[in-house]
Amino acid sequence: MKLKLERRVAPSQIMQYLSPLLAVGLTALTGLCMFIAMGKDPATAFYVFAVQPIENLYGVGELLIKASPLILIGLGLAVGFRANVWNIGAEGQLTVGVIFSGVVALHYGPQGGSWVLPAMVVAGAFGGMLWSAIPAFLRTRFNANEILTSLMLTYVAQLWLSYLIYGPWRDPNGFNFPQSEPLAPSALFPILIEGTRLNASVLITLAAVVFTWFILKRSFVGYQLQVVGLSEPAARYAGFNGRRAVWIAMLAGGVASGIAGVGEIAGPLGQLFPTASPGYGFAAIIVAFLGRLQPIGIVLGGLLISLLYLSGEAAQMTLNLPSAITGLFQGVLLFFLLGADILITYRIRVIPGTVKLKKVTA
Amino acid sequence: MFSMTRRNFLRSSAAGATIGLGPGLKAFAQNEVLKVGVVHQGPIAENGWEAFHARAWRSLESKSGGKVKVTVLDNVQQAQDAERVFRQLAAQGHQLIMGTTFSQYATLRKLAPTLPKTKFECCAGIGTLDNLGVFEARSYEGTYLTGIAAGKMTKSNVLGWVGAFPVPQVIYGLNAFMLGARSVNPNAVCKLIWANAWSDPAKEKDAINALVSQGADVLSGSPNTPVQGLAAEEKGVWSIGSSGDFSAFVKNRQLTSFELDWTSAYAEAAQGVIDGKWKAESKWRGLGPGGFVRMTTQNAALPAEVRALMAEKEKAILEGKFHPFTGEIKDQSGKVRVAAGATMPDAELRSIDWLVEGIQGQLPRT
Amino acid sequence: MDTLSAIVIATLVAGTPLVYAGLGELVTEKSGMLNLGVEGMMLFGAVTAFAVTHATHNLWLGVLFAAFAGAVLAAIFALLTLTLKANQVASGLALAIFGAGASAFLGKPYVGVALAREPSELAAWVSGIPLIGSTLVLLHPLIYLSWAAFGGVFWFLYSTRAGLVLRAVGESPASAHSIGYPVNTVRLYAVLFGGAMAGIAGAYLAVVYTSLWVEGMTAGRGWIALSLVVFATWRPERVLLGAYLFGGMTTVQLFAQGAGIPVPPEMMSALPYLATIVVLVLISRNPTLVQLNAPASLGKLFHGEA
């Protein structure tokens, strides 16, 4: 008897919803085994991982404020991935968004005015867009692969921000610590719920979800992107401009990342530091895939990854587990998610062993 | 802010003992346990910056006889996450919360006023608040003394310094190193390379190799791993442990070293909260009892006269008779920054942003 | 030693982990598989090598186990992408995250611990060789082995039947399958090889070069190696050159700082990345050249029968 993977006639709708649950279940199971092996009580561990981070309003606010950049960038990247344009440089585009909006915040923030914050968002979007335009240009003009160019530019962007914070943008009252002066109130997103850090930038993300859904599902541009992604010859035959698709794909990711960067400095950070994000640009790539490049899925994926970050901290605080547990669980969850997805397009069949014929004697 | 001499330390602790209870504080009950929260930015290691804090809170916990319980998080690298972690520690009943690096200061400064019942202390920061104190080490006292050893032992007159990032503590440490070396060897110069990375030992080693092939024969500056000492062993040059003693791994070529010792910072903070007498202070201490800088090993190959010189200077610093940043001090462009006989005031020293004459390297420009 | 020799040696040293990881990923990609998890495999290899060398005091044993460890991680990738038909980009990223987390977890007891450096008998013997001995001994055997690996990969890909099969599988798995070649098996071996090489690259950093374990110590070199394969337009000799170009630029920027050249250090640090982009643009301008060498099926799913 053995197991065989057999292609389904049509992708299973049920499994589309079940497979993430299966993956989470398997991850939880793995986790439980690990906890038992480490001598921790599984029930407490489960509570700490799944419930504790969000058991109060502050926790929920944290979940949302951490998920917001992940979702926003994930949406932008998903647009590109559909068109087979691999923007790996979202982290760098976020950083340049921080730089550009930082200029506005530091120069005009102290003067005040309700125009400062929107200007920052525009500047951040522009910065991210600019940084993603470089790989787009290099690909359309010189055929240079965007994976490499966008990735290399990430390092350049981080060094640029580091140069600014250690140098010209250093807070003159800051004892020469590498940080900018704190952002003026007019340069900060207003808090939505008292007692949390949830700020108005989540509204931008929400708008982006709706906008992206519309673009991808209902607009011709979205359709074009999808065709270009599936088959470039077909797209060309249909007259779709492959180059334009690359530009749109890259710029979408850049704008989203740039705005996410503004959300960080005008939000939970309130200041500029040599690094602006704990790797949101890379985590968002995972979120985009978790969400199967669909807006709703990306929202759920973003919330899940955000929860995992918070769980890791709770685990350290309450269970004394090492900090490395977060990365470990994220990886394991991803493995199970990717593995379980096969059940959507394939089913498992049990093939019975061969029957032994007995000689019949007369 | 005054420099920590033995006399001053005794004076201040006596004063502290006679001051009445601070505002809103009460002493702990007999079997009440103090919960202390500590947040590390990097992973806790065997040696290096995080290890010094780890030693301090471990010592606090073990010596407290059960009165202190420490909750530790490490690898909290970004300020956004640090804020959440600090807040949650406070919400979970930790009455004393320690920040371990300057990059947590801005977060704590924002947070402390919103959590008035919790006491915070941060390792390096700008100014105090009602419930936020800071503590920092006068590492320049350590580097000055090791600089003497470097200046005496170098044959090429070229020293080498590998820095991670140009933060103020590193800069004044480096400056003192050069001043100490030049006090015994006016021809010494120090080449400076910034690795621009906190934990990339391969890159640090690359930087060290560059320094050595450009003539450096005494190295210092790399604080977190033994990579500098190991490279020195390979190349046959001297390594000086700067805020780190790696002699356990570097058997032959570590010339001398000093460590940071935060034990008294943690102990005093905890005791203060337990006694209900905690006050926000700005502690900037170097060598001496209750201080934060401790000279450690000396290589057998270090000649007696050099040891004597170092000991003599150490004694002078402890007695308040000598300050490493006493003029005349010129910067790299030759401009006189501290007049002959004058001492650089603390405020200026803490935020120093220039390099002394003899250092060959760059600082970021404002 | 004069500065030029020092720079040359430093370049070779800095480039070696990139050579190993780059050659490994090259073979993987030539078979049509895009494994983005190089960073994770390198870290996992590094921590394994460190742990084993620490326990056994045998560096070569550590390197061997590191290769094995890298291959184990690569096997997970193969399972996900070949058997379970998962998306390669996501699987590779998941591998990178898992590898980083697992290595940090396993490496906890070793952070900041240094390996004892034992004097090598081999080195003593080599330096005794007349004339060239003193020069040869300046480089670690793993560097020489990396050149051998380059030669091996080159010969394998372009002079053996197996290499031809691998390239065919990468170009058009459907055609290869119809001829009867076991596409998934070939890809599995290519992926495992990539993992093993990444593991050795990590081992080199942790056990040969620095004798230390620090979390995340590869510091992005796995991602650089990935980029190198693209930069090299999937030619092994260009992987070698690219690795040394990148290593060289890193080295030069450090030497320049030490020589007191008044350029902001961040700008110097950015040079290797900018240089890579420039060279890539120059190379890619001829699309035919790129297409001739890029495996056509890279990253695409192959729906064959097992």
Q: pLDDT tens digits, residue range C177-225?
A: 899 899 999 999 999 999 999 999 999 999 988 888 988 889 889 988 9
Size of interface B-C (CB pairs under 8 A): 124
B69/B61 Cα distance (integer angstroms): 6
ipTM of the complex: 0.83
Q: Which of A76-85, B222-231, C278-287 shows the lowest mean pLDDT across its residues?
A: C278-287
The C-alpha atoms of residue C14 and residue C202 are separated, in whole angstroms, by 12
Answer with the residue of higher pLDDT: B180 or B247.
B180
Judged by CB atoms closer than 8 Å, whether chains meet at A143 and C266 is answered as: no
Across residues A11-31, what is the average pLDDT? 81
State both tokens at A5: 């993977």
CA dist B256 and B239 (Å) reads 8
Q: Which residues of A163-199 are buried (b: 16+ CB within 10 A; e: fewer)?
A: bbbbbebbbeebbbbbbbbbbbebbbbeebeeebbbb
Nearest CA in chain A to C231: A148
Query: Considering only residues 321 to 340 of chain A, which have any Cβ-Cβ distance to chain B shorter than 8 Å?
Result: 323-324
- Per-residue pLDDT band for A103 (boundaries 50, 70, 90) equals very high
**Poorest-confidence range of B46-50, B106-110, C36-40?**
B46-50
Does the pLDDT at position B17 exceed 60?
no
The whole-number pLDDT of residue B4 equals 41
Percent of chain C past pLDDT 90, that is, above it, reads 46
Q: How far is CA B112 from CA A184, A195, A312, B118, in A?
A: 19, 15, 24, 8
Q: Which residues of A touch C102 (CB under 8 A)?
A: 324, 327-328, 331
Task: Choose, out of C8, C9, C111, C117, the residue to mutate when testing the contact with B (most B CBs < 10 Å).
Answer: C111
Lowest mean pLDDT among B88-92, C44-48, C296-300: C296-300
- The answer to whether A159 contacts C274, with C-beta atoms less than 8 Å apart, is no
pLDDT for res C70: 97
Is C269 close to A159, i.e. CB distance below 8 A? yes
The minimal CB distance from A268 to the residues B80, B103, B352 is found for B80
- Among partner residues B160, B201, B365, which is closest to C210 by beta-carbon distance? B201
* Least confident span in A9-23, A186-200, B221-235, C290-304: C290-304
Amino acid letter for position C119: P
Residue A7 is predicted with a pLDDT of 79
Work out the pLDDT band at B47, boundaries 50, 70, 90. Answer: confident
Both tokens of C190, joined, read 């290519």
Chain C residue nearest residue B227, CA to CA: C210
Three-state SS for A70-135 is HHHHHHHHHHHHHCCCCCCCHHHHHHHHHHHHHHHHHHHHHHCCCCHHHHHHHHHHHHHHHHHHHH
Helices C3-30 & C141-159, crossing angle to 10 degrees? 40
Rounded to the nearest angstrom, the minimum Cα separation between B127 and chain A is 10
CA distance A264 to A351: 54
B20-24, B130-134, B223-227: range with highest mean pLDDT = B130-134
CB contact under 8 A, B206 and C14: yes
CATH class of the domain at C3-115+122-293: mainly alpha
Domain A54-320: CATH architecture, name and number where available: Orthogonal Bundle (1.10)
Mean pLDDT within A208-237? 80
Determine which of A22-36, B6-20, B295-309, C26-40 has the lowest per-residue pLDDT on average.
B6-20
Write the pLDDT tens digit of every residue in A292-349: 788 998 999 999 889 988 988 888 888 888 888 877 887 888 888 888 888 887 888 8
**Is the pLDDT reported for residue A263 higher than 90?**
yes
Exposed e or buried b per residue across A211-248, where buried means at least 16 C-beta atoms within 10 angstroms of its C-beta: ebbebbeeeeebebbbbbbeeeeebeeeebebeebbbb
| Residue B92 contacts A where some CB pair is shorter than 8 Å | yes
Which chain B residues are within 8 Å of A163, Cβ to Cβ?
A: 364
pLDDT in tens, C162-175: 999 999 999 888 88
Question: Any CB–CB contact under 8 A between A334 and chain C?
Answer: yes
Q: How many helices (H) and strands (E) does chain C have?
A: 14, 0
The pairing of strands B336-338 and B329-330 is: antiparallel
The yes-or-no verdict on residue A230 having pLDDT over 50 is yes
Looking at the partner chain, which of A81, A286, A322 has a beta carbon nearest the beta carbon of C108?
Answer: A322
Interface contacts (A, C; CB < 8 Å): 141
Q: Determine, for residues A145 and C280 on separate chains, whether the beta-carbon distance falls below 8 Å.
A: yes
Q: What is the model's pLDDT at position A148?
A: 78
Which residues of chain A lie closer than 8 angstroms to C284, CB-CB? 142-145
Q: Do the chains contact at A163 and C90, CB–CB below 8 Å?
A: no
CB–CB of B191 and C258 under 8 A? yes
Q: Environment class of residue C146 by beta-carbon count within 10 Å: exposed (0-12), middle (13-18) or buried (19+)?
A: buried
Q: Which residues of A touch B83 (CB under 8 A)?
A: 197, 268
Q: Residue C302 has what pLDDT?
A: 59
Structural domains of chain B, ranges and CATH numbers in brackets: 6-137+261-285 (3.40.50.2300), 139-259+325-360 (3.40.50.2300)
For residue B15, pLDDT beyond 60 = no
Q: Would you state the pLDDT for residue B365?
A: 64
DSSP code of B102? G
| The pLDDT of residue C13 | 92
C62 pLDDT more than 60: yes
Nearest Cα to Cα of residue C94 among A286, A228, B278? A286
Tokens 């420039």, residue located: C278
- Ramachandran area for residue C108 (φ above 0: left; ψ -120 to 50: alpha; else beta): alpha
pLDDT in tens, A31-50: 888 888 888 888 888 888 88
Is the distance from CB of A111 to CB of A104 less than 8 angstroms?
no
Alpha-helix runs per DSSP H in B185-294? 201-213, 227-235, 263-275
| B45–C266 CB contact, under 8 Å | no
Selected residue with higher pLDDT from A193 and A240: A193
Whole-number Cα distances in Å, A233 to A237, A242, B249, C285:
6, 9, 61, 21
Band of residue C159 on the pLDDT scale cut at 50, 70, 90: very high
Length of chain B: 366
Q: Is the pLDDT of residue C152 over 70?
A: yes
Using alpha carbons only, give the angle C213, A275, A306 rounded to the nearest 5 degrees. 85
CA A76 – CA A287 distance, rounded (Å) = 11
pLDDT in tens, B164-203: 888 888 899 999 999 999 999 999 999 998 887 777 888 8
Q: Per-residue pLDDT averaged across C56-60, rounded?
A: 90
C172 with C186: CB under 8 angstroms?
no
**Partner residue facing B364 (CB), from A166, A182, A317:** A166
